[in-house]
Amino acid sequence: MAHQTPISALGLLSGGLDSMLAARLLMDQGIHVACVNFHTGFCIQGHTSAMRNPEPNAKPPRHDALHAAQLLGIKLHMVDIAEDYVRIVTDPKHGYGSNLNPCLDCKIFMVRKAWQLKEALGFHFLFTGEVIGQRPMSQRRENLPHIERAAGVEGWLLRPLCAQRLKSTEPEKLGWVDRKQLKGFHGRGRRAQMELAQQMGLLDYPSPAGGCCFLTDANYSRKLQDLWHSRGERQYTMDDILLLKAGRHLRPAPHFKVIVGRDETENNFLSGFRAQRWLLQAEGIPGPVMLVEGTPSDSDLTLACRLTARFGQGRHSPQVTIRIAHQGQEALRQVAPLPAEEIPESWYI
Amino acid sequence: MTETAPHPPESDHTLDARRLLCPMPILRTEQALRPLPTGAILAILASDPGIEQDLPAWCRINGHTLLDLRPQGRGEWIAWVQKGE
Ligand code: SF4
């Protein structure tokens, strides 16, 4: 039976299957559901496809949470927390996971932010699609209660997919939610979730293999670590973290690095970041765009020009002309492409 | 060449979201629409191909009307959104 004042729940929606199932379990009990999705700057979405030429049969890029919300027929609040999120990444109280992913701090932070929104919207409680033991750090049994305690929402965060294995929450005790209709999923397996999705007719969900953010990616984390190391401090700007997602990164010396576009789309993308950097490209010969970042000397710039020539189609020519653009000024420099054997493996970040 | 409507909608405001990656064009669209009155038309320029899927979905769940969305070459798109209630 419908409640007189409909009970409403705000969920953290990643766009993955679990959060969709959690939302549906509540919606099927007549609860009014809306969701929130946070933009941290590190989320994996269409980014990579937006920066590189798409594979011939690739699905068009899309924002998973947005499409999940559309499929569920619910409102999605998209909230940009990137600025506040810097301190979570640079100084996490609970440390990092296997890469630079501060999952526990991240979860606590997001739950806290979601609570603020829940209060503003006048909703009754929060929910997530978490499953005990599914992720090594943030979804360990002992960590789940810690998340809500640290976020100050103890008893008000429901996890419909594994609720039957956890202490009853306030919404269950108050009879707003029927615990019997919730689930007791646990562990890394995906079978139970896939069966439930089938039963609910949810067929169009992103593959569970994709991680939820770049910080869990070893290559990305290495580049971020290198950035911090070279600057002597754990800080970053939005441009920094975007640039770490594009191109091939090489550091020939501690005080400068170069980023090389791998295709035309990436070249265009990199060109948008020329401010404060040097933009290099071969004249009259197809080749990549290269960005130079840091405090390169004149001879460092010559080396970067030689690298630019190396990665372009003029690599076997004796001389290539490189156009250097910096702070509105342009200059041409003739260089010999750097031979492959003069590029040490250690330069690649 | 892509097919184009004879008259592009007339916009009251324009948002340049080029070079921003998904989901920033959507977040910026939301910000730009917020102070506008119902019925106002916002033109959006974007270069992330995600716009083709995301903007229609976002408009649908938020009750705005997507008047038109078309590629305009050089990896860029233009869209017109009319603010809903
Ligand atoms: S994977 Fe990234 S977004 Fe997900 S909890 Fe960990 S740090 Fe947060």
| Burial grade of A324 (CB within 10 A; 0-12, 13-18, 19 or more) | buried
What are the pLDDT digits (tens) for A288-300? 999 999 999 999 9
Which pLDDT score, from 0 to 100, does residue B2 have?
44
Query: What is the A18 CA–ligand 1 centroid distance (Å)?
Result: 15
Say if the Cβ atoms of A45 and B21 lie within 8 Å. Answer: yes
pLDDT of B5 above 70: no
- The domains found in chain A, sorted by start residue, are 8-213 (3.40.50.620), 246-347 (no CATH)
Render A239-301 in DSSP notation, one character per residue: HHHHHTTSSEEEEEETTEEEEE-SSHHHHHHHHTT-TTSEEEEESSS----EEEEE---HHHH
Q: Is the C-beta atom of A143 inside 6 A of ligand 1?
A: no
Between B21, B54, B62, which is nearest A242 by CB?
B21
Are the C-beta atoms of A119 and A134 separated by less than 8 Å?
Answer: no
Which pLDDT score, from 0 to 100, does residue B1 have?
41
pTM of the full structure: 0.88
| Burial grade of A308 (CB within 10 A; 0-12, 13-18, 19 or more) | buried
CA separation, residue B10 to residues A32, B14, B40, B79 (Å): 37, 10, 10, 11
Share of chain A above pLDDT 90, in %: 78
Which pLDDT score, from 0 to 100, does residue A331 have?
97
A251 three-state secondary structure: strand
Supply A159's token pair: 């996890």
What are the pLDDT digits (tens) for A203-237? 887 765 456 789 999 999 999 999 999 999 999 99
Task: Give the C-alpha separation, A216 to A220, whole Å.
Answer: 8
* ipTM of the prediction greater than 0.85, yes or no: no
Which pLDDT score, from 0 to 100, does residue A268 have?
86
Q: Name A70's Cβ contacts closer than 8 Å, sequence gap at least 6.
A: B57, B60, B61
Are the C-beta atoms of B36 and B83 separated by less than 8 Å?
Answer: yes
Are the C-beta atoms of B44 and B15 separated by less than 8 Å?
Answer: yes
Q: How large is the average pLDDT for residues A314-330?
A: 96
Task: Give the C-alpha separation, B21 to B18, whole Å.
Answer: 8
Q: Is the C-beta atom of A101 inside 6 A of ligand 1?
A: yes
Decide if A69 touches B, using CB distance below 8 A: yes
| Burial grade of A104 (CB within 10 A; 0-12, 13-18, 19 or more) | buried
Instruction: Give strand pairing partners of B81.
Output: B42, B66
Q: Is the C-beta atom of A212 inside 6 A of ligand 1?
A: yes
Which pLDDT score, from 0 to 100, does residue B6 have?
56
Which pLDDT score, from 0 to 100, does residue A345 have?
95
Which pLDDT score, from 0 to 100, does residue A2 have?
46
Say if the Cβ atoms of A66 and B48 lie within 8 Å. Answer: no
Are the C-beta atoms of A268 and B75 separated by less than 8 Å?
Answer: yes
Supply A275's token pair: 């401010």
What are the pLDDT digits (tens) for B15-71? 999 988 888 999 999 999 999 999 999 999 998 889 999 999 999 999 999 999 999
Decide if B23 touches A, using CB distance below 8 A: yes
Q: How large is the average pLDDT for residues A143-171?
A: 95
Cα–Cα–Cα angle for B46, B50, B51, rounded to 5 degrees: 45
Task: Give the C-alpha separation, A262 to B43, whole Å.
Answer: 32
What's the whole-number average pLDDT of chain A? 91
To the query of whether residue B22 is one of the catalytic residues in this protein, the response is yes
What are the pLDDT digits (tens) for A40-82? 999 876 555 556 666 666 777 788 899 999 999 999 999 999 9
